[in-house]
A and B are shown apart, each in its own frame.
Chain A
Amino acid sequence: MAEFSTSVQERGDISIINLKGFLDAHTAPTLENNFTQLINSSKYKIVVNFEDLAYISSAGLGVFMAYIENIRDNKGDIKLTNMSDKVFNIFDLLGFPLLYEIYKNEEEAIKKFSGS
């Protein structure tokens, strides 16, 4: 069975979701739960760190699409960081860089939330 886990950290009013392992149709509900919980707690500034993510399919990509509208309507955003080339290529193939801000590391994403 595919291994996938997440952990959530708080940095001020910003929430960081760390992804680990294989994100597919079987494991996507784990990440959906993270987003649902953050939204239920009115936490709309979210950074997702892909550093330990080994694999993503469209079922995983779909999770980001499912929540982004609600989050942006509440003046928040989902910013993505630390993607491997392999994972970035899949995002790129589907045109995600037009819809999501993707940064090299967490610090850059956090700066964007707190800075401008």
Chain B
Amino acid sequence: MSVRNKNRTGELRVKSKTENLSEIRDFVSMNARAAGIPEATVENIILAVDEACTNIIKHAYKLSPEGEIIIKINYDKEKFTVTIIDYGKSFEPDRVPLPDLQKYYREHRVGGLGMYLMKSLMDDVEYQSVPGEYNQVLLSKNIRSG
């Protein structure tokens, strides 16, 4: 039991390339399973982190492959938190409207879907940006015990 009560952390640094998404997913998966999170919830966390990193690669770094993405995981018996940091263009989450799928479909726009998924799949999504310095998104999920 003492092990489960310990605060655990992990960190992964990757370049802003879509080919690194699978490594990011594996890293999240490994940690979420180690935290004892149920499989369906693990899958949701993996997808939310994929969406956050895809947005960073496409929008913060505009597909330039040399940007840095840092993924930090922190969990205890109550909460599993993934912090994702980038040094690209800042992001204004309030400017991303909730998707109107019919409208998206007509306009061939899909960027906001990832944001909507992240908010649906996680308990909390928080953005913090210091323009010109860094952007940070915090994704957290409450871990149900028992």
Interface residues in chain A, defined as those with a beta carbon under 8 Å from any beta carbon in chain B: 1-2, 22, 24-26, 55, 57-59, 61-62, 65-66, 68-69, 86, 90, 93-96, 98-99
Contacts and interface: CB of A to CB of B under 8 A. Distances in A.
Contacts of A24: 18, 21-22, 50, 54
B113 A94 contact: yes
Interface string B35-60: 00000100100010011001001100
Contacts of A57: 21, 47, 50-51, 54, 114, 117
Query: Which of the listed residues B25, B99, B113, B117 has the most CB atoms from chain A within 10 Å of its own CB?
Result: B113
Contacts, number: 73
B51 A65 contact: no
B23 to A, nearest CB: 8
B64 interface: no
A29 B99 CA distance: 23
Contact of A58 (B25, B108, B110): B110
A94 B102 CA distance: 11
Given A1-B22, A2-B25, A25-B57, 4 more contacts: A26-B17, A55-B25, A59-B110, A65-B108
B22 A2 contact: yes
